Amino acid sequence: MKSRVARWLFARPGIYLGAAFGVAVATYLVFHAAVLGGTPHVSDEVVYIFQAKTLARGVLYAPAPALPSFFRYLNIIIDEGRGVWFGIYPPGWPACLALFVRAGVGPLANALVNAGALLVVYRLGAEFFGRRLAAGALALGLASPFAWAMGASYLSHPLALLLAATATLAVVVGLRRDRPLYVAAAGAAVGLLATVRPWDAAATGVVVAALLARNRAWRGVALMAAAAAPFVALLLLYNRALTGSAWLFPQQLYNARDALGFGPGVGKIATYGSLGHTPLKAAYNLGHNVRALLTNLFGWPFVSLLFIPFAYATRRPRWRRGLALLTALAVASIVAYGCYWYDGVLYGARFYYTLMPAWLLLTAAGIARVHTWCARRRAPALVPATVAALFAFAAVAYAPHYVRKLRDSYNGMDNAAYEAAGRAGVRAGVVLVPAVDRGYPSYGAVFWRNSPWLDTPVLWAKDLGPLNHELRAVWPAKEVWRYRDGRLSRYAGEEGKAF
């Protein structure tokens, strides 16, 4: 009876794929509201929201604030010479997010994108491993705390995953069916990915181009490059509009040390006790990311990658082709991000989120191989019982810990000041918050609520003490409040002097 139901269900993938999509979207939205408190916790998210709000008005930058010191934030350039300010990141994800921000449903952007990416991972898995194993990988993705956080965030990585997986799938299907249109779609996906996360586009593009070359599909390589070119050109034009040079990225303009490669001149801050980036530091960074994956990929106790090695114990040619492709993607990404000075571990190993197809499909394949081996030795219940025990641990021990970690001012950012303003009944005015309290990014907890034009009813600014009187000249009609120690009070000036 059970196998009959399973056969019926697998013959109708639209049913379980539709259900999986709905569950994923709902999970991410609940996680965003109930765990992350509806607020960004990474400075990159704040910048993406700033850029999305700017693009939502149909422009690339906003007028610079009259008092820059009160609103200066990490990774946002204030060009006082031109009188503009703008975020430093590529425009692809902010442009996508802008569509949702304009409609007032910003959190829905990554919820939909990440859920869609899991379906593409399923389809890629079905190409090499069959529907049943692909469905297992999809279930693993739905249960991944890492995916919950990324789907609930405002980060660009879910869109990068969707585009990278789509490019890979399109090339695989295009080669199998001899469909040039699929290869062109892969090129367009890689080009779009370049406008989202250029380094991920480089890693993915090299692998899929190599796959085409290995099959002597030289016209496919040219077609993919031609389809990617317009989007790359768009990125270069964007750079030129913001920095004056197509080849100068805003990140480099903001800080020339935020670069790729090795040497003493690479790296915005000291890492492991010194400035600069070295191959040894790259190994340390990789170690940090692997350590993060070992736990929060599935919430298992330091064994989330346990089953992956067993996936390679197969003689099936179709499986081997899939394993080779996923391995190549992983190696390319590891080499690429080895050249970047920062480990990026926030919410998890986010720099390697485009490798979710590898983590999910290799884990599912590994579980299937071990289960087959145990079943032949008359222990068919061993693997299902082990996986069930690991997920029970994740539900009872890891998930509550993970939720508490993200709720409790994760990365120095929370809703404390915003909630205090609500309790005080502030509906309009300027709210001064500590310029530096728990670290520089914490201003982002309220800065993201500002409009780039600083025209919202409540304006969030840094408390600069003796300089605060300058605000009155710019916003004479706004009442000024000060936030300290969890409470808001009306601001009367420094040391009792009239404000």
pLDDT tens digits, the chain, 499 residues: what are they? 456 766 766 677 888 999 999 999 999 999 999 999 999 999 999 999 999 999 999 999 999 999 999 999 999 999 999 999 999 999 999 999 999 999 999 999 999 999 999 999 999 999 999 999 999 999 999 999 999 999 999 999 999 999 999 999 999 999 999 899 999 999 999 999 999 999 999 999 999 999 999 999 999 999 999 999 999 999 999 999 999 999 999 999 999 999 999 999 999 999 999 999 999 999 999 999 999 999 999 999 999 999 999 999 998 999 999 999 999 999 999 999 999 999 999 999 999 999 999 999 999 999 999 999 999 998 889 999 999 999 999 999 999 999 999 987 898 899 999 999 999 999 999 999 988 754 555 899 999 999 999 999 999 999 999 999 999 889 999 999 999 888 999 988 776 555 5
Distance CA 62, CA 451 (A): 9
Residue 131: the pLDDT is 93
In Å, what is the CA distance from 459 to each residue of 68, 337, 433, 447, 449? 14, 38, 11, 9, 8
Q: Please state the three-class secondary structure of the chain as a single string.
A: CHHHHHHHHHCCHHHHHHHHHHHHHHHHHHHHHHHCCCCCCCHHHHHHHHHHHHHHCCCCCEECCCCHHHCCCCCEEEECCCCEEEECCCCHHHHHHHHHHHCCCCCHHHHHHHHHHHHHHHHHHHHHHCHHHHHHHHHHHHCCHHHHHHHHCCCCHHHHHHHHHHHHHHHHHHHHHCCHHHHHHHHHHHHHHHCCCHHHHHHHHHHHHHHHHHCCCHHHHHHHHHHHHHHHHHHHHHHHHHHCCCCCCHHHHHCCCCCECCECCCCCCCECCECCECHHHHHHHHHHHHHHHHHHCCCCCCCCCCCHHHHHCCCCHHHHHHHHHHHHHHHHHHHHHHCECCCCECCCEHHHHHHHHHHHHHHHHHHHHHHHHHHHCCCCCHHHHHHHHHHHHHHHHHHHHHHHHHHCCHHHCCCHHHHHHHHCCCCCEEEEEECCCCCHHHHHHHHCCCCCCCCCCEEEEEECHHHHHHHHHHCCCCCEEEEECCEEEECCCHHHCCC
339 within 8 A of 269, measured Cβ to Cβ: no
Distance CA 34, CA 56 (A): 27
Give the β-pairing of 458-463 and 480-484: unpaired
- Residue 45's closest CA among 138, 122, 155, 176? 155
Residue 495: the pLDDT is 62
Per-residue tokens: 219: 């016209």
Residue 436: the pLDDT is 73
Distance CA 218, CA 321 (A): 20
- pTM of the complete model: 0.95
Residue 1: the pLDDT is 47
Residue 498: the pLDDT is 52
Distance CA 49, CA 451 (A): 10
